[in-house]
Chains A and B, each alone.
Chain A
Amino acid sequence: MKLSTLKNIQFEEMATLLHVKGREQLLEKFCSLGLPDKKSEAYRYFDVEKLFESDYTVTPALPGAIGIGKKVVIIDGVVSTAPKGLRIYYKECESADMEHFDPMYFLGHLLSPVIIKIEVDGDAELEIEHHFTKSNSLVPYRIVLHNQANRHATIYESFIADDIENTLVLYGYDMHVAQDSTLRVVKMHSMPDSRYAMIASHKVNVAKQANALIKSFDLGGGQALQLMKIELDTYAHVDAAHLLYLNKDSKRGTVSQMIHKGEHSTSKQEAKNILDGKARGIFDALIKVEHSAKYSKAEQNSKAILLHKEAYMAAKPQLEIYIDELEASHGATTGQLSEKQLFYLQSRGISYTEARKILVIAFANTLIETVKDTRQQEQIKAAFEEVFYTTHQRG
């Protein structure tokens, strides 16, 4: 199936092409938003049309038995193993956010007749590993995740691909961060090459007095975009951090909407972007403070370092504010490594390449070090070095 065939078609035809019965609301919403193209707000910096030209085999995720393992392992959208005692099961989609800005959020739902539901108990630490094994495939799947009130859970997410090519992964979460809880999500997405492309479309609800800590580490090449809509209730807090380190002709990044709905809600969003080769980094982020969200506080910042003259950063921080009683700040900078700092290191006998590596890691470190688990931290640093040494001769 070529996704481009979904362009400009009406309800009936769409239902037939997508093999969807019922689910009228979702279908209608998707039809009205339309398949994204390069003129769509959310996809303006991402070459989405090219991905829609490929003829993919759509393999619907057929749920099977779930084995027991240390981590949640999801292979091509199907849960293969999960830790003992974890409440994880398949369910028909019960609720989607009908106001989501991303058309692909709705397409993802439409192509996933069942969703994976995970209920995280207590102060769990959960690893979720996504595997992709098929070439020329469209892999749609969705996960609904709940944590428990008053608890502090952590999720580590990572991605592994076999030697495949030309696959498009279309997945995403609907996350529900319960009242008075903390949910920490650390996503480590290293793509050494472009075996598959990804559109990840998320929705995060942060309930009263809840904390959501969302960290993403996107490293390497390839094409991938994460789109997230985050809603904050009263006294909710979101701390989002995105690290991008791209090379070759990669196009990756974050498109987000941080929506303050409740009073006294606070959000902090920080993007650090390192771009090498001809890569393009994307940070297209809107903060929206609604009438109901008095005394909110929102901070947003993007910093980029270009390591190559053909690298490019598309940073678009935006504020949309309907009230006066708030504190909000945003900013974006793009620069190069400091010549002064480089020289200082070199004047101590450290080679040009190593000096650059040290400074690049230093720039990223403030984000890497927010990951509490040292083993995860080491993995991120190792992936970081790997990306670095694919573009720079080891000194």
Chain B
Amino acid sequence: MSTNSIMTIENLQAKIGDKEILKGLNLQLEAGKVHAIMGPNGAGKSTLSKTLVGHYDVTVTGGDIFYKGKSIKEMEAEERALEGIFLSFQHPVEIPGVNNAYFLRSALNAKRKHEGKEELNAAEFLRLMRGHLEMLGMKSDMISRSLNEGFSGGEKKRNEILQMLILEPEVIILDEIDSGLDIDALRAVSEGINKMKDGKRSFLVITHYSRILDYIKPDYIHVLKDGRIIKTAGPELVAQLEEHGYDTIEEE
């Protein structure tokens, strides 16, 4: 195990319902690095991200996940979040009737409380929000609306990034944050991600396209196929994948 590893996934096996999806997956996330995961549809990328945050769909049947040296396999989702693991969902859920600002502040205050810090009141919170909204090109009415309700695909993704910016997590998993984004949104979202880079945080970026990788410069490319990481290489692998697809990749 590398001493610089913030998260280590060892021989992870997981199923959804009766279907085995992760079949002995190994991966190390290094502190301060950007890891990209690419792989064919249905390979298990979203399942991996759900497993890392303790989603109820997924049953872990073998292996383990270590975060900062401790197993988190048995940890509740909310605890994982409070400890600094964040997933930007491929399909963020809509929650009518829950005001977005109220939700964001509840999440931030839960985290601050966990860290023994003062909770923020509504005014302090809004002050904090202003800069983030501007950077993400979000109109301020986005946070007075119901959480994700009627948001366009791009707006939902920006709202996910907004949550990341507020919560300042340490392991950031982005599941297809780039799909469905227009050029401006992609740039804004990438800027948000780059802003979070501080040499300590680790990113796991799941994507099908090289476009976002031009902006956020991955350190490693991992290929996930049929429930396992079958190849790890540097950023140069992206071009090869784009040209030849996944079929030519040989398991290492």
Q: A345-B106, A345-B107, A348-B110 are in contact. List 18 more A-B contacts (CB 8 A).
A: A338-B93, A341-B95, A345-B103, A346-B76, A346-B78, A347-B80, A348-B81, A349-B78, A349-B82, A350-B107, A350-B110, A352-B78, A354-B110, A355-B78, A358-B98, A358-B106, A362-B98, A366-B97
Contact B93 A344 (CB under 8 A): yes
Given contacts A345-B103, A346-B77, A349-B81, contact A362 B110 (CB under 8 A): no
Contact A358 B103 (CB under 8 A): yes
Q: B217 interface residue, CB < 8 Å from A?
A: no
A193 to B89, CA, bound (A): 43
Q: B111 interface residue, CB < 8 Å from A?
A: yes
Bitwise, A281-297 to B at CB < 8 A (1) or not (0) is: 00000000000000000
Nearest chain A CB to B89's CB is how many angstroms away? 7
Contact B95 A347 (CB under 8 A): no
Q: A371 interface residue, CB < 8 Å from B?
A: no
Q: A301 interface residue, CB < 8 Å from B?
A: no
Which residue of chain B is the closest to A362 with respect to CB atoms?
Answer: B97
Q: A359 interface residue, CB < 8 Å from B?
A: yes
Which residue of chain B is the closest to A360 with respect to CB atoms?
Answer: B97
Residues of A within 8 A of B163 (CB): 348
A351 to B76, CA, bound (A): 10
Which residue of chain A is the closest to B53 with respect to CB atoms?
Answer: A347
Residues of B within 8 A of A358 (CB): 98, 102-103, 106
Q: A372 interface residue, CB < 8 Å from B?
A: no
Given contacts A348-B81, A358-B106, A362-B98, contact A343 B114 (CB under 8 A): no
Which residue of chain A is the closest to B79 with respect to CB atoms?
Answer: A349
Report B41-77 residues with CB < 8 Å from chain A CB: 53-56, 76-77
Contact B95 A348 (CB under 8 A): no
Interface size on B, residues (CB 8 A): 28
Report A354-395 residues with CB < 8 Å from chain B CB: 354-355, 358-359, 361-366
Which residue of chain B is the closest to A351 with respect to CB atoms?
Answer: B78
Bitwise, B93-131 to A at CB < 8 A (1) or not (0) is: 101111000110011001100100000000000000000
Q: B167 interface residue, CB < 8 Å from A?
A: yes
Nearest chain B CB to A374's CB is how many angstroms away? 14
Q: B150 interface residue, CB < 8 Å from A?
A: no
A345 to B110, CA, bound (A): 11
Bitwise, A319-354 to B at CB < 8 A (1) or not (0) is: 000000000000000000011110111111111101
A348 contact from B55, B76, B167, Cβ within 8 A: B167
Contact A351 B110 (CB under 8 A): yes
Contact A362 B96 (CB under 8 A): yes
Residue ranges of A at the interface with B (Cβ–Cβ < 8 Å): 338-341, 343-352, 354-355, 358-359, 361-366
A355 to B93, CA, bound (A): 14
Residues of A within 8 A of B81 (CB): 346-349
A355 to B77, CA, bound (A): 12
Contact A362 B82 (CB under 8 A): no
A358 to B97, CA, bound (A): 9
B95 contact from A344, A349, A351, A366, Cβ within 8 A: A344
Given contacts A362-B95, A363-B97, A365-B97, contact A343 B106 (CB under 8 A): no
Contact A340 B93 (CB under 8 A): yes
A350 to B110, CA, bound (A): 6
Nearest chain A CB to B180's CB is how many angstroms away? 19
A349 to B107, CA, bound (A): 6
The 6 A-B pairs of least Cβ separation, nearest first, read A362-B97, A349-B81, A348-B107, A349-B110, A346-B78, A365-B97
Residues of B within 8 A of A344 (CB): 89, 92-93, 95
Residues of B within 8 A of A347 (CB): 53-55, 77-78, 80-81, 87, 89
Given contacts A343-B56, A358-B98, A363-B97, contact A350 B87 (CB under 8 A): no
B56 contact from A339, A359, A362, A364, Cβ within 8 A: A339
